[in-house]
Amino acid sequence: MLVSELAGQVPSVANVTYHCELVADAARRRRVAALGADLLARAQSPAGETGGLVDDALQELIGLGAARNAASCDAVGLASAGVEAAVEGTRPGLPTGVADLDALLGGGLRGGELFVIGARPGAGKTTFALQVARHIAAHAAPAAGTRRQAP
């Protein structure tokens, strides 16, 4: 596949609203499925009362409908926030440990970006990538819910 063909198959910012709506629709489907599973479990439970089951189910379904109407895919807001942060240079990046590379990247590596390291065989591409990963692991804040073990 040629690079020019690849460009036509990659989602672009022009389609962000469509993709956002797909994600929101999938999330709604998961919430409806979870509600259905919960209602089924409650209906089949011998200890549960069925008197309020229908009322509870209706209230939860109405809540899902209200959430759908309240949530929207603000594509312009999402895109403009990212562009504004990039222009102002306020997008946080993970420093690679190589000052010149960090300067070229505008502060370091960021999520959602793809970097390709290219060189001849034996030039140290893997070693370089491992050194960057090691630097990030040693100096970046730990992710939520993780612990670093003392050396």
Question: Is 109 in a helix, a strand, or coil?
Answer: strand
Mean pLDDT computed over 117-135: 90
Whether the per-residue pLDDT at 49 is higher than 60: the answer is: yes
**CA 17 remoteness from chain centre:** 16
Residues contacting residue 148 through CB under 8 Å, at least 6 positions apart: 142
Decide: 96 and 135 in contact? Cβ < 8 Å: yes
Residues contacting residue 125 through CB under 8 Å, at least 6 positions apart: 117, 118, 119
Integer angstrom CA distances of residue 57 from 26, 43, 47, 93: 20, 11, 18, 45
Query: Rounded to an integer, what distance in angstroms lies between the CA atom of residue 105 and that of residue 132?
Result: 13
Q: 100 or 71: which carries more pLDDT confidence?
A: 100
Q: Which alpha helices (H) appear in 45-124, and where do they start and end?
A: 53-70, 75-88, 99-104
**pLDDT confidence of residue 127:** 92
Q: Where are the domains of the chain?
A: 3-75, 92-139
Residues contacting residue 140 through CB under 8 Å, at least 6 positions apart: 94
**pLDDT confidence of residue 95:** 87
pTM of the model: 0.41
109 beta partners? 94
